[in-house]
Amino acid sequence: MLADRPPFEDLYREYLGRIYAYVRSQVGTSADAEDITAQVFMNAYQAYARFEARNTTPAAWLFRIARNATLDHFRAHGRRERLRRTIEHQPQAEEDPASEAEERIRYRALLGHVALLPERQRDAISLRHSGLTFEEVGTLMSCSEDAAKMLYHRALKALKDSVQKEGA
Amino acid sequence: MSEPEELELQALQRQLDDAFETTRPRPGFEDDLWLRMQSRRPFTTRLGDAIAGLVAGIRAVPAVPLASVAAVLVVLLGVGLFSLSGLGRGGASGTERQLSLNAGGAAAVPTSAGSFGRLPSPVLAPAGASQGPQLSLPAPAPAAGTYAGPVTLTWAGQVNVSIGTAPVFRYSEPSTDSADQFAASLGAALERRPAGLLGLYTASDYTLSVRGTVQAPAQEPAYFILTAPSLPGVSAAGAQPADIAELFLAEHSLAPQWPYTTTVDGPADQLRVHFLRQFETPGYGLAHLVDSGGNGYGLEVDLNGNRPVLASGPLPVSLDSAPYPIISPDQAVRDALASSPPPSADGVPPVKVQLTSAELVYVLVAAGDHSFYEPAFLFSGSFQVNGVQYVKRVLVPAVDPSQRG
């Protein structure tokens, strides 16, 4: 019902940063993160008339769209990304000039480690630290709340090992 | 788990919290994106338009003689070495990025069946054209080797199209504001608005021209990027031309957001990379966008060595989609076979041509305020005359005639 839904702009202002951070933790450049984030909110804007607050939370709804958009991005750009990696003289993702505009990112290295985790572990970490409950994480990842917790903790340990391995 | 390890994990969680809380887009992105979203018509407005379309029918669509409703596009293209060169198409092709996220077909906003009202019908060109009747669709210049004589068609293939409906895509004619937003998203500034263009823009290493729909022969709104001589080549050891074009497009935020296949043609020092656009058709798969000659097209990048010279593609536009009933494969075959041009007056005997393949494609139909990408059947078959290989292509509009104006 319309009365159940806040104005879309409220959602937009509240969740843009969180959605961007989630997407940014999944993809290699801030430019890609902006493109995907834009797609997420444009899709959400168009679909908002069908959003029913009694069935899901706005956060879970938006993160579902974001997760799908990110997966679509990987599917669509897999070839290009592989190409980039194999071509000499191409700048590394972190040298992408577009990322220079991303002034507020302070934990680039840590997010880099997150991005290297297996897909489900990466998702569990990213969704959880984007502010979702374990129940919401489980719903998005098609598993139970308990399974989401276990996955998250395994991911956390894998992340710790990855960070320590680089520091060693 | 040991206490030290537990403490390490807690510290890591705090870092992750900080990382996710402080990772934010660049300043200005939030407002930029909001403005872009506001520039798009809301869904409810589009839905209202669709309902109005049912009532108003095909307003703004040129009058079409009833006799041409069942028109079948017949194009004889001498293929030889020229069949799929695409060189005649000059660049009405396309790319959409943020501004056109639903412009790739698959993500277009769906509405109810037939909700665009009666669709504009393909219009026959005046009789007497050497290639037979043509629609008012993008018409490439006749390729060298075009066979202009009469033919008799037979069919010996299978039409693997089992769907009863297919989406029709519609876009509204873009405004100068749309063109300005697109240019701004690329970092180009308006220089002036010459006649016939929505705008001419400049950036540090290229000029950008944007024009609206061309009605006849129909071409979608398009942009053209002409690079400055100072633009360096793409430095990519081992990259093939298509890879260079992809990198150039990606670097300029112009990479196609729709499905495509890639072809390359032209002499070695003047290669043209074609990103042939496809539309997602539920139940069928990906269908190429073709011009009136049956040639696929999309976004094109001209290369001089490793230096992109010209890139052209469709202006980002928002697409609505609505499913429409389509004719059966049997009916499509009958229409294709009935499309043989009349015997020539000079008594040249018709050549027997066997059509052997068929696929679902999309064609652009320009129609004033709103234009459409409509499904069609593309039949083709090769034949020889005096030792020269030709390919005959026949385009049959797929939308059921009852749905056309």
Judgement on whether residues B315 and B177 belong to the same structural domain of the protein? yes
Query: Is B29 part of the contact surface with chain A (CB cutoff 8 Å)?
Result: yes
For residue range B213-242, list pLDDT tens digits in order.
Answer: 988 778 899 999 988 877 888 877 778 899
Where does the pLDDT of residue B279 fall: very low under 50, low under 70, confident under 90, or very high at 90 and above?
very high
Query: In angstroms, how far is the first alpha carbon of chain A from the final one?
Result: 55
Residue range B143-167: average pLDDT? Answer: 81
**Is there a domain that residue B26 lies in?**
no
The CA distance from B330 to B222, in Å, is 36
Judgement on whether residues B314 and B183 belong to the same structural domain of the protein? yes
**Is there a domain that residue B189 lies in?**
yes
Are the beta carbons of B19 and A110 separated by less than 8 Å? yes
Nearest beta carbon to residue A160 from set B8, B30, B97: B8
Please list every residue in chain B whose beta carbon sits closer than 8 Å to the beta carbon of residue A103: 26-27
Are the beta carbons of A129 and B27 separated by less than 8 Å? no
Q: Supply the range of the domain harboring residue B307.
A: 173-319
Judgement on whether residues B388 and B377 belong to the same structural domain of the protein? yes
Nearest beta carbon to residue A129 from set B20, B102, B239: B20
Judgement on whether residues B247 and B294 belong to the same structural domain of the protein? yes
- DSSP code per residue over A113-152: HHHTS-HHHHHHHHHHHTT--HHHHHHHTTS-HHHHHHHH
Judgement on whether residues B306 and B339 belong to the same structural domain of the protein? no
Mutate to test the interface with A, among B10, B17, B20 (most CBs of A within 10 A): B20
Q: Find the length of chain B.
A: 405
pLDDT at B335 over 50: yes
pLDDT at B345 over 80: no
**Is there a domain that residue B75 lies in?**
yes
The structure's pTM equals 0.53
Give the torsion sign (CA, B241, B243, B249, B251): negative
The CA distance from B12 to A165, in Å, is 14
Question: Pick from B291, B319, B347: which residue ends a domain?
Answer: B319
pLDDT, residue B131, reads 35
Where does the pLDDT of residue B78 fall: very low under 50, low under 70, confident under 90, or very high at 90 and above?
very low
- This complex has an ipTM of 0.83
B141 vs B158, more confident: B158
Judgement on whether residues B389 and B376 belong to the same structural domain of the protein? yes
Q: Which fold has domain A1-104?
A: Rna Polymerase Sigma Factor; Chain: A (1.10.1740)
Nearest beta carbon to residue B22 from set A31, A41, A104: A104
Domain locations in chain A as residue ranges: 1-104, 106-168
pLDDT, residue B26, reads 80
Residue range B15-36: average pLDDT? Answer: 82
Name the stretches of chain A with pLDDT < 50.
Answer: 1-2, 79, 82-105
For residue range B38-47, list pLDDT tens digits in order.
Answer: 665 444 443 4
Judgement on whether residues B209 and B240 belong to the same structural domain of the protein? yes
Maximum average pLDDT range among B81-85, B131-135, B380-384: B380-384
- Architecture of domain A106-168 in this structure: Orthogonal Bundle (1.10)
Q: What is the mean pLDDT of chain B?
A: 75
**Is there a domain that residue B16 lies in?**
no
Judgement on whether residues B245 and B128 belong to the same structural domain of the protein? no
pLDDT at B77 over 50: no
pLDDT at B60 over 60: no
pLDDT, residue B97, reads 30
Judgement on whether residues B264 and B355 belong to the same structural domain of the protein? no
Judgement on whether residues B51 and B162 belong to the same structural domain of the protein? yes
**Is there a domain that residue B33 lies in?**
no
Residue carrying the six token digits 């665009």: B116
Where does the pLDDT of residue B343 fall: very low under 50, low under 70, confident under 90, or very high at 90 and above?
low
Q: For chain B, how many structural domains are there in total?
A: 2
Query: Is A45 part of the contact surface with chain B (CB cutoff 8 Å)?
Result: yes
Are the beta carbons of B23 and A104 separated by less than 8 Å? yes
Question: Pick from B271, B296, B319: which residue ends a domain?
Answer: B319
The CA distance from B167 to B104, in Å, is 12
Are the beta carbons of B43 and A160 separated by less than 8 Å? no
Please list every residue in chain A whose beta carbon sits closer than 8 Å to the beta carbon of residue B243: 83, 87
Judgement on whether residues B305 and B327 belong to the same structural domain of the protein? no
pLDDT, residue B214, reads 86
A150 vs B60, more confident: A150
Judgement on whether residues B273 and B334 belong to the same structural domain of the protein? no
pLDDT at B316 over 60: yes
Residue range B322-332: average pLDDT? Answer: 95
